[in-house]
Structure 1
Amino acid sequence: MTLTTNGAPGTPDPRGSVAGLLLAAGGGRRLGGHPKALLGFRGRPLVEHAARALHEGGCAPVCVVLGAAAAEVRVHAALTQCTLVDNPGWPEGMGSSLRAGLAALAATDAGAVVVTLVDQPRVGSAAVSRLLAAHRAGAALAAASYGGERGHPVLFAREHWAGVAAAATGDRGARGYLREHAAALALVECGDVADPQDIDTPADLTLLHRAAGGTEGRTPSH
């Protein structure tokens, strides 16, 4: 199922609030051990940009899962409007962070969650807004797509959280769950407003420069 929709940031959701969940715990092993959350982007830590995209896209509350250099992120990143969750099991992979974030959000009244990754600087609020619009239109499972290929962000209505958490192991995150429920998954085309390219290796740091229009991709000095 493919949806093309244009959501207005901040539009009230009649199905209930939609939380934002930012996975930002990785240690940047292939980046020489530089945590991705602290990479410099437009003069600030990259994690701030990713959290802002969720806020401006209409998500509330916003939960940020930290792992590697969590204490440093808390000191240097302005995340005062977010709920911060430390995941001591972050070396196990993305699945552990997804489980930690969903567990933290279980205490809220959110009816759905949009999950984003910290290392995709060209995914912003416009893509988040489109997923919220798809949810308002009735989608309980939705994912941004790029030329028809599934990517991030992804949205899970609350009734899917337990299943997602149970399936989230290692670095697979929610991929297996989404494959198993492909028939119910709404693909929301976002290729005209976002780019899913992520930062994994030093060569990918040029993406920060291009996305920021001049800001180099490097860890900010403190």
Structure 2
Amino acid sequence: MIGTAILLAAGQSKRMQPLTHKGLLSWEGKTLFEHQLQMLLQSSLSDIIVILGHEAELFLHIANKYPVKTIYNENFKKGKCSSIICGLQAANKDSKMILVSSVDQPVDYKIINQLVLSMKDTDQPISIPINKGKRGHPILFSRKIISDLLLINEKTQGLRNIIRKYENQIIEVPIDSILIGLNINTPEDYQNAMKINLCGN
């Protein structure tokens, strides 16, 4: 079964200043961006799409080393929804499921594979990881709801609106990893994430 992963790396990283762009932060001996690419490529999803925007040239040479599609979102300043839609439009037409992942949310291919298996087993439209009662990321969507996904916008809170619409059809997948709750938006977030990662997740 073909599945698509969309890696969002087009943002401006405004809250990370004075540090570098979030995707260029060091993570497990490489940039966070490259770590994310490697994890997605190790997953059971075969169609990997990278959305670039702000300072795209900093990431393009890294992405070009891997068998992934790279897309420049000229509307990246309008928000994350525009990047997600770029990825959806470029997804393999045979993909049965689509994962949305952000460069600032470290992933593990084993978590992705658990989400994929859960969707195969239940045929529900959305699969979300959960740890200690809290939902996290990345989120996996069935192609069955792609028409709704293509209509997301910032005014209606993007993917949150989709989650609300399908709340009663969501698969919550128990994941024994705090990675699903990590969001690296600020220098403080990064320092805390590094401490957590060193201690094991």
TM range (shorter): 0.7 to 0.9
- Report the counterpart of residue 61 of structure 2 in structure 1: 75
- Report the counterpart of residue 45 of structure 1 in structure 2: 31
* One-letter code aligned to 1:126: K
- Report the counterpart of residue 143 of structure 1 in structure 2: 128
Structure 1 pair 205/69, CA: closer, same or farther in 2 (3 Å)?
same
Contact (CA 8 Å) 1:67, 1:86: kept in 2 or not?
A: yes
- Report the counterpart of residue 202 of structure 1 in structure 2: 187
Per the TM alignment, residue 103 of structure 1 is displaced from its structure 2 partner at its CA by 0.8
Contact (CA 8 Å) 1:23, 1:97: kept in 2 or not?
A: yes
Correspondent of 1:153 among 138, 161, 171: 138
Secondary structure of the 2:38 match is: helix
- Quote the sequence identity (%): 25
Correspondent of 1:102 among 68, 71, 88: 88
Whole-Å separation in 2 of the counterparts to 1:53 and 1:171: 31
Q: TM-score w.r.t. structure 2 length?
A: 0.88
Whole-Å separation in 1 of the counterparts to 2:25 and 2:112: 22
- Report the counterpart of residue 133 of structure 1 in structure 2: 117
Contact (CA 8 Å) 2:129, 2:180: kept in 1 or not?
A: no
Per the TM alignment, residue 198 of structure 1 is displaced from its structure 2 partner at its CA by 0.8
Contact (CA 8 Å) 1:63, 1:83: kept in 2 or not?
A: yes
Structure 1 pair 47/190, CA: closer, same or farther in 2 (3 Å)?
same
Whole-Å separation in 2 of the counterparts to 1:113 and 1:83: 15
Per the TM alignment, residue 57 of structure 1 is displaced from its structure 2 partner at its CA by 2.0
Q: TM-score w.r.t. structure 1 length?
A: 0.80
1:176 aligns with 2:161: yes
- Length, aligned pairs only: 197
- Report the counterpart of residue 21 of structure 2 in structure 1: 35
Whole-Å separation in 2 of the counterparts to 1:160 and 1:166: 11
* Cα RMSD, aligned residues only: 2.2
Structure 1 pair 44/97, CA: closer, same or farther in 2 (3 Å)?
same
Whole-Å separation in 2 of the counterparts to 1:55 and 1:170: 33
Structure 1 pair 37/192, CA: closer, same or farther in 2 (3 Å)?
closer
Structure 1 pair 187/57, CA: closer, same or farther in 2 (3 Å)?
same
Structure 1 pair 191/91, CA: closer, same or farther in 2 (3 Å)?
farther
Per the TM alignment, residue 193 of structure 1 is displaced from its structure 2 partner at its CA by 6.6
Deviations, residues 78-112 of structure 1 (Å, cap 9, x unaligned): 6521111111111111111111110111x532111
Contact (CA 8 Å) 2:135, 2:181: kept in 1 or not?
A: no
Structure 1 pair 192/45, CA: closer, same or farther in 2 (3 Å)?
closer
Contact (CA 8 Å) 2:130, 2:180: kept in 1 or not?
A: no
Secondary structure of the 2:7 match is: strand
1:188 aligns with 2:173: yes
Contact (CA 8 Å) 2:79, 2:154: kept in 1 or not?
A: yes
> Which one has the bigger helix percentage?
2
